[in-house]
Structure 1
């Protein structure tokens, strides 16, 4: 019996030791009824192993960590506060943060993060404070914060965001503080909404004088709230063709000319896409330079069709090889428009049939 009690006591000692273990360079203690692990200012290169499984606050600030692996925090899912500021983090692997469903405070500021695993945030529905400022992030998805209804303070200032999509902050019904200053915003039609939103929202948006435009050049340094009203029009596309194939029989060997007229403000990026002869080719038209008589497509395709800067596409000799879809698209900040024709050689004598289609998507 005594031996059995000794075994149980030894087992209990091991269990308690596992729960209360602490990485060598860290300090672990109970603080205000929370389990606190202080690993800051230790010159750590990685997240240390052996953090207590019941820890609720982890400070890893001011170290030299460069990467957060997907399993870095897999054994400390009770964490409510995670401090990672002032490291050298470049990469955060997908699923690194997704398991921390009780997280309320996350600080990854003052790092070198370019690509953040935004999908991880979808799980962190308890977040109240999110500090991502002073990184090098480029892209902010529209749905990045779509599940963070309890978020009160968001700091994404001092990154490299050039735009913020309308609707990005719609789900943040508890937010009272938003920092977006010192980002190199492109003040085009897609950012007009932000001007109006800042002027009308009840959320605090500090330092509005440096919530400013980096581009275009004539607006550089202008506060976003002072962007003048812009002439913004979604793109439209219209294809005309010669000869008028709806009224004319087109024989094999005939020349076909398709003209793409694209309108919009700002000036849309126009492209021809050709799917013919078991090949698919995309030809973006140069956005600058004078229109000229030199086709933009190279010798691999220009013996079959010619594409010019002005939007014209010429098929010098219509044949079965040129059967296919010819579509012209135009894209700007407000959306995308696309129009196309389908050409097919049919019947005897050989003639061409044409079908037309159009579609538009507004952002």
Structure 2
């Protein structure tokens, strides 16, 4: 085999040419530059290279050992659209880490060691559409973290250590394009159902909450059943993974959508009822924003509202500016008045999809409630007892009793004085009125005496008792004849 003369020099010249091109274009060593793409994956990098090609649209630094991102390190890549930093060792982010990435659309920070997300980390990413933060150690996300992400469509926060989240900050006016919010496989034991129920339907459709250690409750059971009935993908796609822990015990796992074990005490009537998103309350003179919760995308969708007075409200609103309709379909009542109460109907029509949807919201306008001092329960109970006792005494001692003194049959044998007792007469609290020649008045100072039971043997030997028994049937509570001794 003959050697080619000058072969080594040609190879060396080619290598020098490649190195010269890399230096001219600013391509870092151990990286690959292809047109507008810079790939530094699996390059054993511990920090980001100082020089980056200014024409880069896609940067890939995945599967390295990056620990820290410097401030303004993206200032030389103004056209950047995709940034991949997954599978690194990043523990925290400086506030100005993405200060110059105003055109960034895709940011992947998954599989790192992030522990918290602050409000100013992503404020300058005005064009961001996808944010991947899954498989980290995040325990806290500040409320204002995503407020400026007006174009965001997907946020992935699964496989972290989150136990709380501000669902109220994910309003459709702030995030009209949000379609996926993945909070699955975290540490949620409870859910703020009131905040979640006010979210638009298109956010609920993509709100993933499966594989969380939720404590079983009727509110969570009702929430997921309603979402299933409405056909939300977040529920239907992972129906078996929606579980809860009965009494908070880790081994007592209940599949919410497939079994009612542990949820037998929940009223089945709650299943057919809507939660707080169907009823809104507002004070007189306050501003109220009513969302049109339909699953239709905002693109190519037009909205129409019908007021409780059956008046049509077309965009952008009424001429007197009392109502205003936003591009995403939300209806704003500027200064609520009592006559604004009632059921509002939203009609959404998408001509491109040839599909329409409706949504009803019941609005209640009320005045401020003044606090009224409540009665003391113990005092009212005591007062009721005293009144009851007074009524009993009045009934026993002041009710008139009609007692007639009848002397039609005198006793055959006069009674000895010592036998004159309560068993031979019935006395009333009021003087009786008797008629007849052989009658006399009974003293008014006598008291009511109750007869004791009389033994059978004694009754046979006592002539007075025999006389009483020969009379007609008599009760101590009726008009009875009185036998005078």
**TM-score bin, normalised by smaller chain:** 0.5 to 0.7
The answer to which structure has the higher strand fraction is 1
Q: 1:212·1:220 contact (CA, 8 Å) conserved in 2? A: no
Encode CA deviations 1:59-92: one digit per residue, 9 max, x unaligned: 0100000012221111212110000111011122
Cα distance in 1 for partners of 2:111, 2:225 equals: 34
Q: Secondary structure of 2:178's partner? A: coil
Q: 2:114·2:137 contact (CA, 8 Å) conserved in 1? A: yes
Of 50-59 and 144-153, the range deviating more from structure 2: 144-153
Match of 2:93 among 68, 82, 96: 68
Q: Secondary structure of 2:196's partner? A: coil
C-alpha deviation, 1:207, in angstroms: 2.6
Looking at CA atoms only, which structure, 1 or 2, has the larger radius of gyration?
A: 2
Cα distance in 1 for partners of 2:159, 2:376 equals: 51
Q: CA RMSD in A?
A: 3.6
Cα distance in 2 for partners of 1:201, 1:23 equals: 52
Q: 2:117·2:145 contact (CA, 8 Å) conserved in 1? A: no
Report the equivalent of 1:211: 242
Q: Secondary structure of 2:144's partner? A: helix
Q: Secondary structure of 1:68's partner? A: coil
The answer to which structure has the higher helix fraction is 2
Match of 1:111 among 122, 125, 136: 136
- 1:173/1:115 Cα in 2 relative to 1: closer, same or farther (>3 Å)? same
Cα distance in 2 for partners of 1:116, 1:23 equals: 34
Cα distance in 1 for partners of 2:190, 2:248 equals: 16
Q: Secondary structure of 2:145's partner? A: helix
Q: Secondary structure of 2:225's partner? A: helix
Q: What TM-score do the two structures reach when normalised by structure 1?
A: 0.53
Report the equivalent of 2:69: 47
Report the equivalent of 2:182: 155
- 1:222/1:171 Cα in 2 relative to 1: closer, same or farther (>3 Å)? same
C-alpha deviation, 1:27, in angstroms: 6.0
Q: Secondary structure of 2:240's partner? A: helix
Report the equivalent of 2:420: none
Cα distance in 1 for partners of 2:27, 2:205 equals: 37
Report the equivalent of 2:208: 179
- 1:140 maps onto 2:165 in alignment: yes
C-alpha deviation, 1:174, in angstroms: 6.4
Q: What TM-score do the two structures reach when normalised by structure 2?
A: 0.41
Report the equivalent of 2:231: 202
- 1:201/1:27 Cα in 2 relative to 1: closer, same or farther (>3 Å)? farther
Q: 1:184·1:215 contact (CA, 8 Å) conserved in 2? A: no
Is there any run of 5+ residues in structure 1 with no aligned partner, and where? 1-19, 248-363
Q: 1:67·1:90 contact (CA, 8 Å) conserved in 2? A: yes
Cα distance in 1 for partners of 2:29, 2:200 equals: 42
Encode CA deviations 1:250-280: one digit per residue, 9 max, x unaligned: xxxxxxxxxxxxxxxxxxxxxxxxxxxxxxx
- Highest relative contact order (Cα 8 Å, sep 6+), 1 or 2? 1
Paired positions, count:
225
Cα distance in 2 for partners of 1:118, 1:91 equals: 12
Q: Secondary structure of 1:222's partner? A: strand
C-alpha deviation, 1:229, in angstroms: 5.8
Match of 1:30 among 36, 42, 65: 36
- 1:26/1:125 Cα in 2 relative to 1: closer, same or farther (>3 Å)? farther
Encode CA deviations 1:317-344: one digit per residue, 9 max, x unaligned: xxxxxxxxxxxxxxxxxxxxxxxxxxxx
Q: 1:149·1:174 contact (CA, 8 Å) conserved in 2? A: no
Encode CA deviations 1:86-125: one digit per residue, 9 max, x unaligned: 1011122221012212111110000000001232212212
